Amino acid sequence: MEPLIALKTAHVLATVLLLGSAVGLALWTWRKRRAGDAAVYGQLLRRPLVFVWLLMGICLVSMPFTGWWLVHLVGWPLGQTWVLGSSVLYTVGALAWFWLLARVNRLRTAPAVGKPGFTLALALFSGVCFIAIAGLMGAKPV
């Protein structure tokens, strides 16, 4: 397989897996919360769901490398507005995701500490950042 096609496939697959895992976790949490399960935050880091968090982490780590390599192979300058904008959005979104993971772990160990509303805001903010990046990648205003 040609390296450019393989990189595009890996990059798109990482994006789809990241967003799909996030939507899956959000739906699972929403359904549990709607069913009246007050201990839902304590279950977000149990064994089956840890694999989803790990998958999301692997996707987050791989995306900058495959993205840079794609830009390098295609020959786009790194100073383009959409590349810089998506890099800034990625940095902010990834930091929000790591902060979200720390807050979910804190809610797991001490459910009475912390505000679930802020945790939801972090999750939404991180999700919006990654959806905006996907939009920038799709539009590619070169």
The closest of 101, 88, 99 to 129, measured between CA atoms, is 88
Mean pLDDT, residues 47-57: 80
Query: For residues 95 and 54, is the Cβ–Cβ distance under 8 A?
Result: no
Domain ranges of the chain: 3-139
Band of residue 53 on the pLDDT scale cut at 50, 70, 90: confident
pLDDT given for residue 13 in this prediction: 92
Which pLDDT tens digit goes with each residue over 96-129?
A: 989 988 888 887 777 666 677 888 888 899 989 9
The closest of 130, 48, 120, 137 to 91, measured between CA atoms, is 130
**Burial of 27: CB neighbours in 10 Å, binned 0-12, 13-18, 19+:** exposed
Question: Percentage of the chain surpassing pLDDT 70?
Answer: 93
Q: How many CA atoms lie within 13 A of 84 on its CB side?
A: 5
pLDDT given for residue 112 in this prediction: 64
